A and B are shown apart, each in its own frame.
Chain A
Amino acid sequence: MKHSFLVLRAKFIALCFFITALFSASANADSSGVIKIPTHNWSSQLVGAEVVGELFKMVGEKIEYVSMDSQTVYQAMADGDIDIVHEVWEGAFGASFDKAVATGGVIDLLTHDAVTREDWWYPVYIEEVCPGLPDWEALAKCSDMFARADSGGKGVFIGGPVDWLKHDAEKVEALGMNFVVRNAGSAGAIWAELDAAVAQKKPVVIFNWSPNFIGAKYEGKFVEFPKHDPKCTSDASWGVNPNALYDCGNPANGYLKIGVNKDFEKNHPKAFNIAKQMNFSGPDIDKMANYVDTDGMEISEAAQQWLKDHKSKWEKWIK
């Protein structure tokens, strides 16, 4: 009895050896020394990631694209699992990014020329029924038409997910608007709301940002709140409401940054040299998104197209 068990075990061990041998013969070389670039779920980032990867390849680096959630990526970068995030949006990821920088694992490398805008936005046909837009006071007067069955008579503003940390509720209160903020759970939910409303030409006011594909698909405008000022979020006495913070719009020019892991310079000096000279402009980001969203190109085609059209630009970076 003991004998047969031994034979079984011998067979098992042999099988293990065989499998290990098979894997080690065929498997790819180890993955250290590879630059890991995250890919998220919006087009400009996907194309940009491939552009960045292609540039790094030109100086002989190896690239691996890792699909990742755009918030968890900062923990991963601080842990050294991700090397570079090339689209850090102030509005959406500023908080996670700052936290990661504070741990010392992530370096705030540079700010692109591209500026971002994020604020309340409406499809243009609403101007016909609510005169005075895009001024915020006109919107406040029309709050009735944005009311819903479950909003208690107040207008509904469709905000971004709570983790984007917008101060819309504070803004509504500070400006005394008769609105409630309903936070969508994802960007997709905001677009679904917008799409359904546009199809019926119903009033809707949503959280939107630029650059993104919505601008090309639907005509609309940002609501003009009192202009942003650093004092607005730190000094209550500033602005329309002397007793409250956030009585203003979001910054009309938020940053777009590049963040890298702290060891990136040490491990990949050539790639780091490119990264610190990189700079995407607003039209660059727009184009990358539009190649995919409007022209229907594949991600890699779009990246190649951008590289072809902007040779003079990136040639300076790889010097």
Chain B
Amino acid sequence: MNNIIFERFKNYWFIYPFILLWIIKPFLPEWGVVPPKSCLGGCGTIEGMIPFVQWVNNLIDILRNYEIFGFFTFREFTRSIANLIDIPLDFTEALLYKGFNTIPLGPMPWVMILGLVIILGLYLRGVNLAILGGACVLYLAIFSLRGIWTLSMKTLAAIAVSVPLAVIIGILLGILGAKFKIAERLLNPLLNILQSLPHFSYLILVAIFCGVGAKAGVIATVIFAFPPMTRLTILGLKELSSEIIEAGRMNGCNKWQMLFKVELPGARSSLMLGINQVIMQCLAMVVIASFIGQPGLGHDLLARLQNLRLGQAFEIGVAVVFIAITLDRYSQALVLKEPKRKIEGVFWKRNPYLFGALIIVVFSFILSLLTAAAIQLPKEYTISISGYLDWGIKFITTSLFVPLGIFRDFLLVYFFMPTKAMFQSMPWVAVIVLVGCAGWKLGKFKLAMTVMFFIFLIAASGYWVRAMITLYMVSVAMIISVGFGVPVAIWASRKKSTTKLILNICDTFQTFPSFIYLLPAVMLFQISDVSAIFAIVVYASIPITRYTIFGLRNVPSQIIEAAKMSGCSESQILWKVRMPLAFPEILLGINQTLMFALFMVMIAGFIGTVDLSQEIFRALSFNDGGKGLVIGLCVSLIGLTADRLLVEWSNIKKKEFGLIK
């Protein structure tokens, strides 16, 4: 008995140095409690030990003004590249809402888009897909409160450029990563940083080096959207079974044929998931890209939120979700489409869908000459339920305000405030020691050094206190998200129908612009940590739910059968078989939950928090590109540290269960 307890204590050895340092905090020297300020770069001029902000700003100035080859500056170079994006963008904008200048042709009428979307849906999969697409277009056309139609077309014009661009860049880098070991080693940290870097931290840099407007929006979107594509391409190409490659070799494929005819098609399901993620990410950026000039739904959404028109903002949010889901389902159908055998006969028999599309184009063109209502529905025919939505939101917030107020105060006084105080009282040296020990336990010297270095960088940057507040909010939100998401996932994973339902809800919430629920959160919980954490939990519960379902449903059926045969009860199967086997996936889910929480904690800054997000907004208003980037990297480093530890832990668990060698 004593032995078991001793073993347990030994297992958690890594936590003791941390606790010890925390307890002896009063005896620690001042520099061990709060990161000291240094005199590098001038005494009293910098916040931290190392003047990162100054360095980055100096670098920006050099890139901006110094003429590299004596002809042009780096900034002129990046700007001329950025201008190339205007070429396809001009085309999609003209096609969807501006009309063409050089030839007398207006934008596509809505009836034409409706017809084409329906016929494309029929061609790609069938009636169900066509109904989804048609419903989406009808929603955009009919819910045309102050022109959702035009706004959506503006958004779509940008999306139509950024999705293919992100997919192409993602796949190309992915191929490099899969083929060359060095490329993968360079790509990995870059992708990690890009995925965890808050958008607000690089918006200023995009504005400086690429200008503003729709093209800058596209660039910021692509930066955010391509990493999952690259990751999944690498994964897909590496996991190809050797038989497929063998078969390709036997047939005498050369290097390029191998790649385009064998390997990429073989990795189709990974690539499909990649495209799905790119589309979701691009639409998640709709609102943020509007900060640097992307016109469309995002910009309008913010304007309505600032005027407290929640119902209207909600309608726009639904439009974003509709577009996201439609694009996603269409692209999946496109990738999954089986080549059909050729049919003999006349043109319309050989290509019935193409022929139908031609008829629609001609017909809607004639219709648009006859009536302007075919180009865009006039206001009289459109509807809006925003009035009812406003009323509903008002009703809910008013009736729940008092009971939730008691709940809010209880949470604040007994949980959040003590937890916050606890996080703030941790000496920074102790925190470094904690991650170092955890790193040592999981991955020995190398991992320990890496994560300690990451945390040291945060401390050295001078934003330690704020980073701890961010960490406090993220930690509390993660505990709640996991506590909520895992049970939901266990319940949902029992049946196919509930699984599908919950996964659809996950899709919806992932694309629904998170800005919209910030204000109802304030109405319910006032400007406090509760409202910020509430908003984070809503968003961060998505990945943990998704991954847990994925893990639970992927447990091999033979194992469950075997457990049943040995007479396990339902709950035994769940807790002794399925949960342990799904544990590595759940850990990855927790990893993603952290990423989502870090993303959302920045957006929760719009509620009013005193963490890193507030500093980023301050940097944003003072055009301090260096400060924005450094704080952004602090957020990123929190993510990277946790990512390293969790991935290592998940690998150890997988080895324990014999899932990998």
Q: How far is the CA of A29 from the CA of B435 in the complex (A)?
A: 57
> With A26-B100, A298-B147 known to touch, is A72 a contact of B291 (CB < 8 Å)?
yes
Q: Which residues of B contact A24 (CB under 8 A)?
A: 87
Bits for B366-378, please: 1 = Cβ < 8 Å to A, else 0: 0000000000000
Partner of A163, one of B526, B528, B610, B620: B620
Q: Which residues of A contact B613 (CB under 8 A)?
A: 185
**Is A161 an interface position by the 8 A CB rule?**
yes
Q: How far is the CA of A150 from the CA of B418 in the complex (A)?
A: 11
Contact call A67/B607, Cβ cutoff below 8 A: no
Q: How far is the CA of A160 from the CA of B172 in the complex (A)?
A: 45
**Is A236 an interface position by the 8 A CB rule?**
no
Q: Which residues of B contact A299 (CB under 8 A)?
A: 146
Contact call B94/A67, Cβ cutoff below 8 A: no
**Is B456 an interface position by the 8 A CB rule?**
no
User: Which residues from 202 to 249 on chain B have a C-beta closer than 8 Å to any C-beta of chain A?
Assistant: 203-204, 207-208, 211-213
Partner of A185, one of B302, B307, B605, B623: B605
Contact call A25/B102, Cβ cutoff below 8 A: yes
Determine the residue in chain B with the shortest Cβ distance to A77. B212
A interface residue count range (under 10 / 10 to 19 / 20 to 34 / 35 or more): 35 or more
**Is B346 an interface position by the 8 A CB rule?**
no
Q: Which residues of B contact A41 (CB under 8 A)?
A: 299, 302-303, 305-306
Contact call A5/B409, Cβ cutoff below 8 A: no
Determine the residue in chain B with the shortest Cβ distance to A70. B621
Contact call A23/B102, Cβ cutoff below 8 A: no
Determine the residue in chain B with the shortest Cβ distance to A184. B608
Contact call B607/A196, Cβ cutoff below 8 A: no
For the complex formed, measure the closest distance between the CB of B627 and the CB atoms of chain A, giving whole angstroms.
12
**Is B453 an interface position by the 8 A CB rule?**
no
For the complex formed, measure the closest distance between the CB of B439 and the CB atoms of chain A, giving whole angstroms.
34
Contact call A213/B307, Cβ cutoff below 8 A: yes
Q: How far is the CA of A299 from the CA of B145 in the complex (A)?
A: 12
Among the 9-residue stretches A107-115, A186-194, A257-265, A280-288, the one with 4 or more Cβ atoms under 8 Å from chain B is A186-194
Determine the residue in chain A with the shortest Cβ distance to B95. A26
**Is A66 an interface position by the 8 A CB rule?**
yes
Contact call A5/B254, Cβ cutoff below 8 A: yes
**Is B511 an interface position by the 8 A CB rule?**
no
**Is A74 an interface position by the 8 A CB rule?**
yes
Most buried by B among A67, A182, A299: A67
Contact call A76/B605, Cβ cutoff below 8 A: no
For the complex formed, measure the closest distance between the CB of A175 and the CB atoms of chain B, giving whole angstroms.
22
User: Which residues from 275 to 330 on chain B have a C-beta closer than 8 Å to any C-beta of chain A?
Assistant: 290-296, 299, 302-303, 305-308
Q: How far is the CA of A196 from the CA of B146 in the complex (A)?
A: 27
Q: Which residues of A contact B292 (CB under 8 A)?
A: 68-69, 72
List the count of A-B residue pairs having beta carbons below 8 Å apart.
204
Q: Which residues of B contact A149 (CB under 8 A)?
A: 408-409, 412-413
Partner of B401, one of A23, A27, A79, A199: A199
**Is A71 an interface position by the 8 A CB rule?**
yes
Q: Which residues of A contact B299 (CB under 8 A)?
A: 39, 41, 67
Contact call A185/B614, Cβ cutoff below 8 A: yes
> With A27-B91, A150-B529 known to touch, is A185 a contact of B412 (CB < 8 Å)?
no
Bits for B81-118, please: 1 = Cβ < 8 Å to A, else 0: 00000111011011100101111000000000000000
Bits for A16-36, please: 1 = Cβ < 8 Å to B, else 0: 000010111111110100001
Among the 9-residue stretches B135-143, B265-273, B517-525, B591-599, the one with 4 or more Cβ atoms under 8 Å from chain A is B517-525
Q: How far is the CA of A8 from the CA of B255 in the complex (A)?
A: 13
User: Which residues from 174 to 231 on chain A have a C-beta closer than 8 Å to any C-beta of chain B?
Assistant: 182-189, 191-193, 195-196, 199-200, 213
> With A27-B94, A41-B299, A68-B291 known to touch, is A186 a contact of B307 (CB < 8 Å)?
no
**Is B609 an interface position by the 8 A CB rule?**
yes
Bits for A87-118, please: 1 = Cβ < 8 Å to B, else 0: 00000000110010000000000000000000
**Is B417 an interface position by the 8 A CB rule?**
yes
User: Which residues from 38 to 88 on chain A have a C-beta closer than 8 Å to any C-beta of chain B?
Assistant: 39-43, 46, 64-69, 71-72, 74-76, 79, 81-82
> With A41-B299, A72-B292, A188-B519 known to touch, is A150 a contact of B528 (CB < 8 Å)?
yes
A–B complex contacts, Cβ < 8 Å, 23 sampled = A23-B88, A26-B95, A26-B100, A27-B94, A31-B86, A42-B306, A67-B299, A72-B291, A75-B208, A79-B211, A150-B412, A150-B413, A184-B608, A185-B604, A186-B608, A188-B305, A189-B518, A189-B527, A189-B606, A191-B306, A192-B522, A196-B526, A199-B397
Taking A31-B86, A96-B623 as known contacts, 17 extra A-B pairs with beta carbons closer than 8 A to each other, sorted by chain A number, are: A23-B91, A27-B94, A28-B90, A41-B305, A69-B203, A71-B620, A81-B207, A148-B528, A150-B413, A150-B417, A161-B617, A162-B617, A163-B620, A183-B610, A188-B519, A193-B526, A298-B146
Task: List 10 A-B pairs, minimum CB-CB distance, nearest first.
Answer: A163-B621, A149-B409, A71-B621, A192-B522, A67-B299, A27-B90, A41-B303, A185-B606, A185-B608, A75-B623
Enumerate chain B interface residues (CB-CB to A < 8 A).
86-88, 90-91, 93-95, 98, 100-103, 146-147, 203-204, 207-208, 211-213, 254, 256-257, 290-296, 299, 302-303, 305-308, 394, 397-398, 401-402, 408-409, 412-413, 416-417, 518-520, 522-524, 526-529, 604-610, 613-614, 617-618, 620-623
